[in-house]
């Protein structure tokens, strides 16, 4: 779905041609897996960071077209809403000073973005759900000027026979509402972490990403409210799942998945082909080996851990995992620390002679994920044969595991200590982005605008969230 398309409306013939090509490409992809013809370059890191444009009062500012025109940076692009943008990173090897490289590139892009924002008299904020977003701003009038987003909205609502989306989230408070388009998705911004896998590690890495999802959400939660209501620690999770619900007759387009991978990641592409209706039949005349239809169709299925087919600089096909569970923010350093935790956990699980899926059932991993999204670091998780708090699990078992995983990549000890140290301090203090927002609101009792401006002030100072004053 990252590629722009040329038209909004499609005929029955478009669907037939797209289906034929999707089926042919999936057969070719099966052959690719059978012969393991994938790039052996692996253990490569990347990211996408979504951000909000806000005005001087902290309200969303729907001017991403003006902002991007002023910025002129190929690493920064449109997102669904006209008040959101996406910052992309260049792939880098998980070796040496990986996280310093990731940090330096993202910080440089961020400085350029802030410069463009200053020129327009606005600000950028990285936060899961912006406390000042209102339902009145979540409509097609505030959709980015991209045909693909309009087509997506058309098809989701068509599959629902025009019925409005039902959103129900029960947390500390309750939200029950209906909405007439997919723009609720725009309220959910994230920091997506990419791991390019070596073919022999892809299944283990994917299953590790599933198991790691709950502690990643608990540590990184940053979306505790929506429309002034206190809901889940990571309200972004249930909101996104319900924002693109195509109805009861089809599998969810957003979700945790249906099981661990067994033989190969091909299983997920076969599931895409067989179980998920085509949303947008964007027929592409690229060569079959570019898998244009298979990749586009995969891009309209938003698993929280999504397998991707990509290409190296020399054209070799590679496998990637997109870890989508982490919200945006609170700071650049927090984002990079979250990436360090994810890569460390995946590598740490790989060091065990048995895969993580042999120690925790898929159902338990899925329950853990939603429990962590609801309760953050206070969540009680299933682990091995018992129950443990997310906070204790991270401090006593998973952070040491992540350290060993990062050391196995050859990352210098000072690099490991710096970025996992930020996670340890955050977890030990219990002060992730969600908890900071809630404590700030309890102390000051002010509205969303005041919270956004206080958050923005601390974000621009650059200290990690566990060090933020209230």
Q: What is the arithmetic mean of pLDDT over 40-45?
A: 96
* 76/48 Cα distance (integer angstroms): 9
Higher pLDDT, 416 or 6: 416
For residue 142, which phi and psi values (nearest 5 degrees)?
Answer: -110, 20
| Domain spans, the chain | 12-464
Nearest of 365, 370, 332, 333 to residue 349 by alpha carbon: 365
Averaged pLDDT score across all residues of the chain:
96
Q: Which of these, 175, 274, 309, lies nearest to 229 by C-alpha position? A: 175
What SS3 state is found at 317? Answer: strand
The pLDDT score that the predictor gives to residue 2 is 61
* pLDDT score at 126: 98
Percentage of the chain lying above the pLDDT 70 cut: 100
pLDDT at 385: 76
> Predicted confidence band at 384 (pLDDT cuts at 50, 70, 90)?
confident
Q: How far is CA 265 from CA 36, 155, 255, 259, 275, in A?
A: 11, 27, 17, 11, 16
Which has the closest alpha carbon to 178: 137, 135, 149, 134? 135
Residue 105 in this model has a pLDDT that exceeds 80: yes
pLDDT at 229: 97
pLDDT at 1 over 60: no
Burial class (CB in 10 A: 0-12, 13-18, 19+), 92: middle
Give Cα 460 to chain centroid, integer Å.
22
DSSP label at residue 326: P
For residue 44, give the H/E element and its range: strand 44-54
Instruction: State the alpha helices, DSSP H only, in 121-192.
Output: 147-159
Q: Report the SS3 class of residue 351.
A: helix
Q: What pLDDT shows up at residue 409?
A: 96
Instruction: At 225, give phi and psi (nearest 5°).
Output: -135, 160
pLDDT value of position 359: 87
Lookup: tokens for 98: 């990986």
CATH code given to domain 12-464:
3.30.590.20
Q: Which long-range contacts (CB under 8 A, 24 or more apart) does 376-380 make?
A: 376/217, 376/218, 376/221, 376/233, 376/234, 376/432, 376/434, 376/435, 377/218, 377/219, 377/221, 377/233, 377/427, 377/430, 377/432, 377/435, 378/233, 379/214, 379/218, 379/233
Which of 5-9, 57-61, 388-392 comes out lowest in average pLDDT?
5-9
Q: What are the CA-CA distances from residue 328 to residues 60, 92, 234, 241, 427 (Å)?
A: 16, 20, 11, 17, 17
Dihedral angle of Cα 36, 38, 39, 45, to the nearest 10 degrees: -110
Hey, what are 19's tokens?
């289906």
> Residue 50: which pLDDT band, with cuts at 50, 70 and 90?
very high
Q: Closest Cα partner for 91 from 402, 343, 337, 432?
A: 343
**pLDDT greater at residue 385 or residue 8:** 8
List, for residues 231-240, the tens digit of each pLDDT value. Answer: 999 999 999 9
* pLDDT per residue as tens digits for the range 308-323: 999 999 999 999 999 9
Statement: the pTM of the whole predicted model exceeds 0.95: yes
Look-up: residue for tokens 């463009």?
116
End-to-end CA, the chain: 39
- How does pLDDT run across 276-294, given as a tens digit for each residue? 999 999 999 999 999 999 9
420 with 340: CB under 8 angstroms? Answer: yes
Confidence of residue 458 (pLDDT cuts 50, 70, 90): very high
Q: Give every CB contact of residue 133 below 8 A, 6+ residues apart in sequence.
A: 60, 187, 226, 227
């Amino acid at each position: 779905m990252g590629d722009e398309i040329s038209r909004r409306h499609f005929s029955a013939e478009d669907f037939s041609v797209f289906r034929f090509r999707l089926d042919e490409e999936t057969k070719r992809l099966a052959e690719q897996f059978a012969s393991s013809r994938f790039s052996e370059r692996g253990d490569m890191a990347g990211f996408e960071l979504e951000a909000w444009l806000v005005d001087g009062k902290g309200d969303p500012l729907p001017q991403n077209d003006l902002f991007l025109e002023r910025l002129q940076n190929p690493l920064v692009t449109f997102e669904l809403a006209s008040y959101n943008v996406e910052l992309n990173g260049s792939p880098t090897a998980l070796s040496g000073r990986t996280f310093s490289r990731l940090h330096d590139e993202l910080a440089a892009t961020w400085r350029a973005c802030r410069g463009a924002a200053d020129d327009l008299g606005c600000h950028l904020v990285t936060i899961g759900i912006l406390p000042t977003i209102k339902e009145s701003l979540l409509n097609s009038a505030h959709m980015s000027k991209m045909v693909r987003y309009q087509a997506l909205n058309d098809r989701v609502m068509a599959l629902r026979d025009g019925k409005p989306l039902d959103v129900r989230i029960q947390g500390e408070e309750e939200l029950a509402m209906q909405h007439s388009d997919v723009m609720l998705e725009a309220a959910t911004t994230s920091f997506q972490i990419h791991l390019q896998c070596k073919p022999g590690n892809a299944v283990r890495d994917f299953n590790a990403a599933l198991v790691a999802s709950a502690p990643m959400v608990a540590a990184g939660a940053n979306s505790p409210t929506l429309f002034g209501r206190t809901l889940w620690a990571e309200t972004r999770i249930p909101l996104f799942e319900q924002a693109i619900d195509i109805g009861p007759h089809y599998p969810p387009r957003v979700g945790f998945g249906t099981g661990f991978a067994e033989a190969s990641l091909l299983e997920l592409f076969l599931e895409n082909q067989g179980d998920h209706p085509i949303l947008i039949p964007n027929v592409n005349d690229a060569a079959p080996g570019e898998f244009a239809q298979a990749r586009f169709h995969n891009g309209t299925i938003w698993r929280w851990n999504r397998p991707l087919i990509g290409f190296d600089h020399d054209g070799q096909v590679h496998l990637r995992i997109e870890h989508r569970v982490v919200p945006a923010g609170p700071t650049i350093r927090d984002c990079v620390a979250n990436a360090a935790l994810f890569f460390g956990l995946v590598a740490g699980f790989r060091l065990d002679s048995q895969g993580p899926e042999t120690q925790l059932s898929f159902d338990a991993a899925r329950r853990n994920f939603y429990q962590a999204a609801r309760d953050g670091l206070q969540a009680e998780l299933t682990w091995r044969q018992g129950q443990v708090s997310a906070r204790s699990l991270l401090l006593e078992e998973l952070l040491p595991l992540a350290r060993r995983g990062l050391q196995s990549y050859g990352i210098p000890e000072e690099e490991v200590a710096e970025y996992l140290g930020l996670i340890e301090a955050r977890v030990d203090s219990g002060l992730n982005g969600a908890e900071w927002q809630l404590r700030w609101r309890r102390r000051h009792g002010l509205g969303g605008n005041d919270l956004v401006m206080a958050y923005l002030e601390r974000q621009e100072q650059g200290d990690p969230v566990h060090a933020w004053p209230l």
